[in-house]
Each structure stands twice: as C-alpha cells, then as structure tokens.
Amino acid sequence: MSRLEINPKRELGRRDKKIYGHFLEHFHRQIYGGIFDPESPLSGSSGYRQDVMEALKRIEVPIVRWPGGCFVSAYHWKDAIGKQRTPYFDKAWRVEESNKFGTDEFIEYCRLIGAEPYICTNAGTGSPEEMSDWVEYCNLPSEGKWAKLRIENGHPEPYKVKYWSIGNENYGDWEMGAKNLREWGRFVKESAKMMKRVDPNIELLAASISDLDWNLNLLREAGNYLDWISIHDYWDHLGQVNDLSNYESCMAYTMEIEKPILKTKNILGSLGYLGRIRIAYDEWNLRGWHHPHINSGTEDYITPRDKNDINSSYTMADAVFTACFLNQCHKHSDVVGMANFAPTVNTRGAIFTHQDGLVLRSSYFVFELYIRHLGDIVVDSWLSENSAFDVETAGKTTSVPHVDAVATKRTGSEDLRIALVNRHPDRAESVSLHLGSAVQYSNAVLYSVVGDSKDAYNDIGKEQVRVIEQPLHWNTQSDVRVEIQPHSVNVLVIK
C-alpha cells in the first residue's frame, strides 16, 4: 500500500499549458501522409487530414514546434512560400523535400487546430539574417521586402508568431552545421539581436543541453536576449537497432526524467537566470526514432524507418512513461514552461494514420486525461509510504517506486485533481490519501488509462488501451483510499 499526503492549501506553482505541446518534423510520414495528405479522401480542400485535426483538437494541443529537428539545420524557408515551390535534397534525412508544406501552411494548420505556432530556425547552414527575415515575413505588418511578400502571397495580416528557437541540437556532430560551445554562444547572440530588432515582443529559445560548459558560454554571451533554453531527451535509444526496451526497463527510465531538469535548473540558478529564463523540453519521447544507415552508400536507409510505425511498439510502457514525464513538468512548474512531445503524428507519435483512418496510441490517452482533468495549480503532496520493485538493466539495479503522483487544483475551485500512476507491471496498488481537514470532500471520479496487459497496444481493428471512468464515494472527510490498476495512469477528481 502507498500513502499520499496532500496539503491543498499550500500552492507550489502554476502549470503552464504549453507542457502539453507537440512537435512536427519533415521526417518520413509526419508531414506528408501524416497531417498533410492532399490525395486522401479524408483530407479537406487545403490538404489537411480532417481526422487528425479533430484528434488534435480533442487534446487541445497548445503549441506545435516545427519544422525540426535535424531537418531544420539545412532548411531554407524562402524556398517554401508562394506559388512557386522549389524542391531540394534534404541532407539530414537524405530524401527529396517537395516544399509543398511551408510556413504559410504551418501557420494555417496551427490556427485550424487552435495551437500556438513555434518556429525553429536554421542555425546550421543558415544565418542570423535569414532567421530575422523569417521573423519579418511572419510578424511585421507591412514594412520591408518580406512582410510585403507575405501580403502578396495572400496573407495581409501578420502572423504574430511569438515563439522562435535558434537552432536544434547544434551541439551534436550529427547536426548539419554543428558548432562548438564558443561558436554557439556568439552565433546565438548575433541571431537573437537581429530577430529581436525585427520584433522585440517575440520569445526566444536557443538549443541547449544539460551541460555546464555549454550553458556557461551560451548564457554569458546571449543570456540577456533569451527567454528560454531548449533541452531534448529520448530514453530508449533506437536509432540503429529497433530493439525496444521491455516494460520494466522503461519503468527504470522514468527514474531518469528529473535529472536533466534539475541540472539545467541549477545551472540557470548559478548564473542568476532562475526566474528569468525558463526550460523548454521541446523534443522528448520515451522511444528514440529509428533511422539506421543514414551515412551508408550501400544499405537501404529509408525502408527501415517504417519500423517506427509498427503500432505494437507503443504499449502501456509508453503511456506510463508519458505520465511520469508530465508529472515532473508539473513538479518543476517554476522553471519548466514548455514541453513538446516528439512527434505528434506517425513515427513515434501519439497518432498513427492509415488510408482508412487513424489509430490512437497509448500516449494519446494520457494527454487527453491530463488536459481534461488535471488542474493548473500544483499543490504540495508527498508519498510518505511507497513500495518499490527492482529492475535490472545492463548490469545496473534500479529501485522503481510503484506510485508516482502529483496533486493539483483549478483556479477558483477547491476540488482536488490528483495524478496517480501505477508503474508496477502486474500488481494493483491501494493508495491511501490523507487530505487534511481544512476542506470537506464527499465524492470523487477516477479516470484511468488502462490496458489489457502491460504490453497492450492499439492497432487497426484492435483496441487494447482505453479510458475508463469510475465514480467513488466514502464517508470519511480526511482519508480516502483508492485502488489503481497495474500499469495504469489515473486522475482522481475529488469534489
């Protein structure tokens, strides 16, 4: 049994809705054949898949990061606007990019699903001027060449894109135009200077990593221009071999989520930027993308990418990990203000498209559960009792607590909304909640993402993962006991 202590009167912070954000890259079937498929009978007149749009509106996606990812580091946005689109060979993923889906289409798509657009710029082969020209195109009312071109292209009103990132993973040698830490700080400063001269109201992010030396140089050079720093993580690394970790190993990975947040938070604090610069976990997922042989001249490097879309890969492990990740974002809401699940559609996404419809994978239901039922105010809670099980991975033993929890309220209400995750693969967990006596509670509803087994998944014609709802009643005012299923994600709403 586990025991959760809650102090509803002690408010720790406010969750920014942008932690439920998503990400799209021009990789395999995410854009073409994913959200944008003009040839599909399921698409509207603009070419967007209507069923995907409805699924994204259902989970109220607050913000979408685009166009990459590694793709962006050799992407030139000017070739993908207007009537005359220029295809080119994408050196990141080694395919031809048609440029049919560009800035105007992305902004339109965000407007249609009700999400904020977040543009990541080319800091690999691009220049500070090219980035600032992009801000001109999107945000200036009519001044200059690029705003006038937007108007000429049929978009008289400025797009007012608020969020812009300088680069993507430019610290990595896999990235086009990678830079060392000294080059990076100076480059970000000059890029930020030009972008904010165009529109001082934008919020700027810069590609970062939870590394002291990288951030010392970045923040000393460009910290005064930045509003966020961006970090990324995938825990189950599958780039070369698509050998997915089992459920238990994935539960061990949940114990690693908080470490990069704390490390980055401490770096910000040590340099005096805590409270001024926030963390955007703007590319994250349990499973890394599978893209082997990218540098090979003889082996097939495209067909293996289809393995990302094997729906049996996305089990309750993915749902439970997703919930644990979002719980950490809530717990560190003082500094984590954005997170972008990577990607939204296909590859490792929460939604899979096929010619006759779509499949909602297990992670999708976690977003649905949290966006609908959790609150925006994080209140104090702690597990005074919590059993654990051991997981052996690569010669290392990790102790994994059964329950992960975070307690919230909504502005203007005393109702409690508690996320309760049972990591245990096959054992239900009884959780005793001590609520204090300041507020009287009388009934509750338990909303749960459950699966037929720890390896349950959804596929075409197969639905093993689903959301269930259970009303609860009790007589006591201060202690509540609830049983949560094994390998499940739950939100308990106590009225």
Contact 287, 238 (CB under 8 A): yes
**Are 2-10+377-494 and 15-373 in the same CATH fold?**
no
Distinct helix (H) and strand (E) counts, the chain: 10, 25
Where b means 16+ CB within 10 Å and e means fewer, 387-417 reads eeeebeeeeeebebbbbbbbbbbeeeeebbb
- Sequence letter at residue 61: V
Residue 479 in this model has a pLDDT that exceeds 90: no
Residue 476 in this model has a pLDDT that exceeds 90: no
Helix axes 181-198, 128-139, angle to 10 degrees: 30
Q: What is the pLDDT of residues 425-452, one digit of tens each?
A: 999 999 999 987 666 777 899 999 999 9
- Residue appearing with tokens 């993915």: 318
- Residue appearing with tokens 């999107």: 138
Q: What is the pLDDT of residues 117-163, one digit of tens each?
A: 999 999 999 999 999 999 999 999 999 999 999 999 999 999 999 99
| Superfamily of the domain at 15-373 | Glycosidases (3.20.20.80)
Q: Which two tokens stand for residue 483?
A: 């049983």
State whether residue 320 is helix, strand or coil: helix
DSSP class of residue 84 equals -
- Residue appearing with tokens 């809670």: 381
> What is the spatial distance between Cα 494 and Cα 419, in angstroms, rounded to a whole number?
11
> What is the spatial distance between Cα 419 and Cα 323, in angstroms, rounded to a whole number?
8
Q: Which two tokens stand for residue 332?
A: 């560190």
Residue 475: predicted pLDDT:
63
DSSP class of residue 36 equals B
| Residue 478 pLDDT grade (very low, low, confident, very high; cuts 50, 70, 90) | low
Q: Does domain 2-10+377-494 have CATH number 2.60.40.1180?
A: yes
Handedness of CA 458, 461, 467, 473 (dihedral sign): negative
User: 274: burial class by Cβ within 10 Å (0-12, 13-18, 19+)?
Assistant: middle
Locate the domains of the chain by residue range.
Answer: 2-10+377-494, 15-373
The predicted model scores a pTM of: 0.97
Residue 303 in this model has a pLDDT that exceeds 70: yes
> What is the spatial distance between Cα 468 and Cα 367, in angstroms, rounded to a whole number?
15
> What is the spatial distance between Cα 65 and Cα 30, in angstroms, rounded to a whole number?
13
